[in-house]
Amino acid sequence: MCAEAEAAGAAPGYLFDPTVKCCSYVPALPNFLVGRILSDADPAAAAGRASVEARIGAGVGVTPIGLLPSAIFSRLYEGSAPEAFGRNRAFRCPHYLQESGTCGIWRNRNSLCTTWFCKHVRGQLGQAFWRMLLELLGRAEHELRQWCVLELQPGDEALKSLREWMLAKDELTAAALEERVERKVYQRIWGSWLGCEHEFYVRCAELVEGLTWAEVSAICGPELRLQARLTQSAYARLLSDEIPPVLEPGSIQVSRAAKGTLRVTTYSTHDPLDAPDVVLDLLGEFDGRPTGEVMDAIEAEYGAKPELELIRKLVDFRLLVEPDEPR
Ligand code: SF4
- Reduced to 3 DSSP states, what percent helix, strand and coil does the chain have, rounded to the nearest 5? 55, 10, 35
Cα 238 to middle of ligand 1, angstroms? 26
- What is the C-alpha radius of gyration for the chain, rounded to an integer number of angstroms? 24
| Beta strand extents in the chain (DSSP E only) | 29-30, 62-63, 66-67, 96-97, 102-103, 248-249, 253-258, 261-265, 273-276, 320-321
Cα 109 to middle of ligand 1, angstroms? 7
Contact between 226 and 234 (Cβ < 8 Å)? no
For residue 194, count CB atoms less than 10 angstroms from its CB and return exposed for 0-12, middle for 13-18, buried for 19 or more.
Answer: middle
Question: What count of residues does the chain have?
Answer: 327
Apex 174 CA angle, 168 and 177, nearest 5:
85
Cα 95 to middle of ligand 1, angstroms? 6
How much is the pLDDT for 160? 97
Spatial distance between the Cα atoms of 21 and 306, rounded to a whole number of angstroms: 37
Contact between 55 and 67 (Cβ < 8 Å)? yes
- Which of 73, 89, 113, 116 to mutate for ligand 1's pocket (most ligand atoms within 8 Å of CB)? 113
Contact between 152 and 165 (Cβ < 8 Å)? no
| 10-residue averages of pLDDT along the chain (327 residues) | 64 78 95 98 96 97 97 92 87 95 96 96 97 98 98 97 95 92 96 98 97 97 97 97 96 88 93 93 94 96 93 97 80
Apex 145 CA angle, 93 and 55, nearest 5:
30
Tell me which residues have their CB closer than 6 angstroms to ligand 1. 23, 25, 27, 93, 95-96, 103, 105, 109, 113
Cα 8 to middle of ligand 1, angstroms? 25
The pTM of the full predicted model, rounded to 2 decimals, is 0.92
Q: Whose CA is nearest to atom 2 of ligand 1?
A: 103
For residue 247, count CB atoms less than 10 angstroms from its CB and return exposed for 0-12, middle for 13-18, buried for 19 or more.
Answer: buried
Contacts of residue 220, Cβ cutoff 8 Å, sequence gap at least 6: 139, 140, 143, 144
Apex 55 CA angle, 52 and 61, nearest 5:
125
Q: Whose CA is nearest to atom 4 of ligand 1?
A: 113
**Which residues share a beta bridge with 276?**
261
Cα 115 to middle of ligand 1, angstroms? 11
Contact between 319 and 252 (Cβ < 8 Å)? yes
Shortest-distance atom of ligand 1 to CA 112 = 4
Taking each helix axis from N to C end, the angle separating 31-38 and 123-152, rounded to the nearest 10 degrees, works out to: 90
Look up residue 197 and give its DSSP letter.
H
